[in-house]
């Protein structure tokens, strides 16, 4: 077993030596923590970065003071690169951007709006910009506008989702991009799904739900238990009538939302900012939005970030080794 593990480790080093995402972000493995509002804080972010991936702070609708504090805390916990996910609907987005620039964060991921007006400021500060988009067309637009890479996220993801599937988006987006690397997100949680993403053309993967179910994640244990127990039948898309569909694990709150929709409620009766700013690290598990992707149906164990990343890397390394041996033989 030790020999096999050592071989996998050596293979993984060679396998990612020329990976575009690893080179761009100066990380060991092309595995990125999806920025989740108020959840991906210093402890979880540093754990992912220390394990060789890229941790990402999720700023959401948090105040600028919170982001500044989490950046400083993260720097105390890791010497490796990390990023910030900037939610563009935050009324204080310009103040948040200013903090990201002043703190010289390695990379910023953007979502929830048009990031183009902020591009020149980040670029002038030497900060890499990676927008999260739901379509190949927008991915190409981001490349043409000077993005360093792009995350294409499918509807399998948790939280607010688009309408297209991850594993259709990857090859279609890859075909359009000419110069920048592609990161895939949505429904990726283990070695098999990661291998599928890379096979279809992704240069890196981003995971949120898998890291929710990690030892370092600060969400309450009852939330993690819901993830472990969830089947695909328990993972619902709600609030379609608001224009901001949300993928969650079914609970009392999601049932109430569904009843509102059936009664013909106006979208304004449920405001998106209430969901994004909801405190989901504490409180009654039945009354908070249990945002999670379809991958929750395949997660059955709480593991450390190190274990999660190592399992994926070893799986990929074994595939790489087998493919290399087959090619050399035939």
- Looking at residue 163, its pLDDT comes to 86
> Are 229 and 126 found together in one domain?
no
Q: Following DSSP, what letter does each residue of 140-190 receive, concatenated? A: HHHHHTT-S-EEEE-TTSSEE--SS-HHHHHHHHHHH-SSS-EEEESS--S
Measured CA to CA, the distance from residue 238 to residue 246 in angstroms comes to: 5
Of residues 14 and 306, more confidence is placed in: 306
Q: Residue 330 — very low, low, confident or very high, per pLDDT cuts 50/70/90?
A: very low
> Are 86 and 181 found together in one domain?
yes
> Are 283 and 310 found together in one domain?
no
- Looking at residue 241, its pLDDT comes to 79
Measured CA to CA, the distance from residue 318 to residue 322 in angstroms comes to: 6
Measured CA to CA, the distance from residue 150 to residue 306 in angstroms comes to: 25
> Are 249 and 152 found together in one domain?
no
Question: Half-sphere exposure (CA, 13 Å, Cβ side) for 22?
Answer: 12
> Are 183 and 242 found together in one domain?
no
Residue 28 counted as domain residue: yes
**Chain segment 105-159, per-residue pLDDT in tens:** 999 999 999 999 999 999 999 999 999 999 999 999 999 999 999 999 999 999 8
> In a 10 Å sphere around its CB, with 0-12 CB exposed, 13-18 middle and 19+ buried, how is residue 230 labelled?
buried
Residue 327 counted as domain residue: no
C-alpha distances out from residue 153 to 99, 135, 165, 183, 287, Å: 26, 8, 8, 9, 27
- Looking at residue 136, its pLDDT comes to 97
> Are 37 and 97 found together in one domain?
yes
State the pairing for strand pair 204-207/182-185: parallel
Indicate the Cα dihedral angle 97, 103, 108, 114, nearest 10°. 10
- Looking at residue 281, its pLDDT comes to 62
> Are 95 and 236 found together in one domain?
no
- Report which secondary-structure segment, H or E, holds 246: strand 246-249
> Are 247 and 208 found together in one domain?
no
Residue 330 counted as domain residue: no
> Are 292 and 306 found together in one domain?
no
**Chain segment 34-89, per-residue pLDDT in tens:** 999 889 999 999 999 999 999 999 999 999 999 999 999 999 999 999 999 999 99
> Are 285 and 169 found together in one domain?
no
Measured CA to CA, the distance from residue 106 to residue 284 in angstroms comes to: 36
Residue 329 counted as domain residue: no
> Are 305 and 254 found together in one domain?
no
Number of structural domains found in the chain: 2
> Are 157 and 259 found together in one domain?
no
**Chain segment 166-186, per-residue pLDDT in tens:** 999 999 999 999 999 999 999
| Domain region containing 281 | 221-296
């Amino acid at each position: 077993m030790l020999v096999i593990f050592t071989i996998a480790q050596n293979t993984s080093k060679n396998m990612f030596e020329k990976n575009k995402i690893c080179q761009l972000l100066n990380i060991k493995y092309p595995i990125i923590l999806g920025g989740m509002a108020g959840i991906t804080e210093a402890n979880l972010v540093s754990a992912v970065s220390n394990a060789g991936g890229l941790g990402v702070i999720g700023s959401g609708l948090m105040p600028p003071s919170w982001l500044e504090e989490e950046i400083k805390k993260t720097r105390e916990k890791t010497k490796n690169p990390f990023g910030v996910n900037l939610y563009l609907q935050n009324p204080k987005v310009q103040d948040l951007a200013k903090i990201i620039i002043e703190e010289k964060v390695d990379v910023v991921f953007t979502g929830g709006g048009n990031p183009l007006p902020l591009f020149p400021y980040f670029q002038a500060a030497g900060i890499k910009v990676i927008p999260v988009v739901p379509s190949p067309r927008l991915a190409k637009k981001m490349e043409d506008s000077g993005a360093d890479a792009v995350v294409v996220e499918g509807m399998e993801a948790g939280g607010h989702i688009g309408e297209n599937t991850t594993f259709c988006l990857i090859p279609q987006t890859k075909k359009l991009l000419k110069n920048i690397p592609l990161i895939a997100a949505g429904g990726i949680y283990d070695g098999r799904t990661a291998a599928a993403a890379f096979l279809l053309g992704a240069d890196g993967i981003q995971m949120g739900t898998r890291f929710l179910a990690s030892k370092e994640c600060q969400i309450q244990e009852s939330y993690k238990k819901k993830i472990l127990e969830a089947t695909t039948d328990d993972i619902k898309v709600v609030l379609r009538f608001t224009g901001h569909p949300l993928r969650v694990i079914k609970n009392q709150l999601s049932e109430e939302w569904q009843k509102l929709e059936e009664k013909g409620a106006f979208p304004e009766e449920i405001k998106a900012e209430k969901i994004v700013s909801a405190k989901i690290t504490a409180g009654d598990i039945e009354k908070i939005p249990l945002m999670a992707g379809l991958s929750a149906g395949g997660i059955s164990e709480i593991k450390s970030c190190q274990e999660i990343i190592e399992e994926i890397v070893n799986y990929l390394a074994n595939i790489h080794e087998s493919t290399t041996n087959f090619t050399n033989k035939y």
